[in-house]
Amino acid sequence: MNIGIVCYPTFGGSGVVATELAKGLANRGHNLHILSYARPARLDSFRTDITFHEVDLSSYPLFEYPPYDLALANMMVNLIKYEKLDVLHVHYAIPHATSAYLAKQILNSQASHVPVITTLHGTDITLIGSDPSYKQVVDFSINKSDGVTAVSEYLKKETYKHFDIKKDIKVIPNFIDLDRFKKSKKEHFKKAICPEGEKIVTHVSNFREVKRVPDVVEAFSHILNNGIKAKLLMVGDGPDRIRAEEKCRELKMCDHVRFLGKQERVEEVLSISDLFMIPSGSETFGLAALEAMSCSVPVISSNIGGLPEVNVHGETGYLCELGDVETMGSYASKILSNESLHKKMANAARKRAEQFELDKIVTIYEDYYEEVRGQLKKETT
Ligand code: GMT
């Protein structure tokens, strides 16, 4: 198949899922076209079966905000026409699903056989999508998609709750490359960071408010107060990094915390980690938690959104009430101070991650493309 994939290029989960899916599909002989305003971070090597198309935004004095959605729709029209796309798969509803609808309208009968599949990822539903300034458009565009998927049961429910969706939503979870995300020997790295054999607690995110990064720092302070020698590695960057740094100063624990910024090879940091923390205020799945689990790292998370579908309480880590940093700290201390519990949870975390293995989930997407194509064919003949 010739498959168009539209996504955000940044380090965020939806762009990672879209790019890894494109690679997985290309490995099966499909021809992929990725559309975005910049090359996705995970599209890191040259391949002849994946073509990247950068959406060109011409500037013009009248455009204070250049209309990205129109430029994207225009590019979709060209790709459907000239690259003979069989499927157009958009990740994150805003504005991608709307641009796809517009492209199909422009092409009319020429594109009637090309299904638009929209994958809902998170804040396109739970936060920004439900905002009155976008809601009607998001509702319309999802209903006009030929196929709709969500990354968790939780997100599916939220979508039906907040929008008037007439379509069936198929749940296809995030997935993981078990060969890339596995514990590897990085002892030299660990020794450099923890010369006295301290435990390593890690957090990875884009440091947006929703990730509650100051909670990570506070929960970590309870670990130190419980007498455990540990270091906190903060991976990523974003608007709330400054608040997390402030919290470190306020709690006088800057010597125990390292802010590593954005990292290309997160699996190397996870390989030396003993525990992962994700106390998010909203998380439809929690790809970062899955990446940690795949590297055999137990997870302390909040119990909101899709996180309980990934992290199993008492098995792969612990789930805590939102903002309850004290409980997070005491569960973390329990794992870090008990070697056999840590080992048991680390093994269970990896086992759980195996249920989200890349190939298995790519097959589900591939089958879904065929199913929606078949339905559309029936409807248009
Ligand atoms: O919805 C977002 O905030 C953006 C999106 C992203 O691009 O980072 O994240 C969501 O999609 C990921 C991949 O499906 C999920 O693993 C994340 O849980 C989800 N983030 C949130 O719900 C906050």
Q: How far is the centre of ligand 1, averaged over its atoms, from the C-alpha of 131 (Å)? A: 17
Q: How far is the centre of ligand 1, averaged over its atoms, from the C-alpha of 242 (Å)? A: 22
Helices 241-250 and 213-225: crossing angle, nearest 10°?
30
Q: Read off the pLDDT of residues 157-189 as tens digits, 9 standing for 90 and up.
A: 999 999 999 999 999 999 999 999 999 988 888
Count CB neighbours of 169 within 10 A.
19
Q: How far is the centre of ligand 1, averaged over its atoms, from the C-alpha of 371 (Å)? A: 26
Q: CB of 159 within 8 A of CB of 97?
A: no
CA–CA gap between residue 369 and residue 146 (Å, rounded): 10
Mutate which of 285, 290, 301 for ligand 1 pocket (most atoms within 8 A of beta carbon): 285
Q: Read off the pLDDT of residues 280-310 as tens digits, 9 standing for 90 and up.
A: 999 999 999 999 999 999 999 999 999 999 9
Which residues approach ligand 1 with their CB closer than 6 A?
8, 12-15, 17, 121-124, 151, 174, 210, 282-287
Instruction: Name which residue sits closest to atom 3 of ligand 1, judged by CA.
Output: 123
Q: How far is the centre of ligand 1, averaged over its atoms, from the C-alpha of 102 (Å)? A: 25
CA–CA gap between residue 220 and residue 127 (Å, rounded): 28
* pLDDT computed for residue 232 by the predictor: 98
Q: Which atom of ligand 1 is nearest to the CA of 13?
A: 8
* pLDDT computed for residue 124 by the predictor: 85
Mutate which of 19, 121, 310 for ligand 1 pocket (most atoms within 8 A of beta carbon): 121
CATH 3.40.50.2000 domain extents, the chain: 2-175+358-380, 187-354
Q: How far is the centre of ligand 1, averaged over its atoms, from the C-alpha of 181 (Å)? A: 19
Q: According to CATH, what is the number of the domain 187-354? A: 3.40.50.2000
CA–CA gap between residue 23 and residue 175 (Å, rounded): 13
Give the domain 2-175+358-380 fold: Rossmann fold (3.40.50)
Q: What is the mean pLDDT of each run of 10 residues along the chain (381 residues)?
A: 95 90 98 97 91 91 92 97 97 96 94 94 84 93 97 97 95 97 90 93 96 98 97 97 97 96 94 98 97 98 98 98 98 98 98 98 98 93 77
The contacts found for 186-193 with CB under 8 angstroms, 24 or more apart, are 186/268, 186/271, 186/272, 187/272, 189/268, 189/272, 190/272, 193/231, 193/233, 193/258, 193/272
CA–CA gap between residue 161 and residue 126 (Å, rounded): 10
End-to-end alpha carbon distance in the chain: 20
For residues 86-119, one letter each, b for 16 or more C-beta atoms within 10 angstroms of the residue's C-beta and e for the rest, the string is: bbbbbbbbbbbbbbbbbbbeeeeeebeebbbbbb
* pLDDT computed for residue 127 by the predictor: 78
Cis peptide bond N-terminal to 95, omega within 30: yes
Token pair 């509803």 is at which residue? 93
For CA atoms 143, 148, 151, 155, the dihedral sign is positive
Q: How far is CA 262 from the centre of its chain?
A: 15
What's the pTM value of the predicted model, to 2 decimals? 0.95
CA dihedral 357, 360, 362, 366 (to 10 degrees): -170
Mutate which of 7, 36, 37, 123 for ligand 1 pocket (most atoms within 8 A of beta carbon): 123
* pLDDT computed for residue 3 by the predictor: 98
Instruction: Name which residue sits closest to atom 23 of ligand 1, judged by CA.
Output: 283
* pLDDT computed for residue 11 by the predictor: 65
For residues 326-358, one letter each, b for 16 or more C-beta atoms within 10 angstroms of the residue's C-beta and e for the rest, the string is: ebbbbbbbebbeeeeebeebbebbbebbeebeb
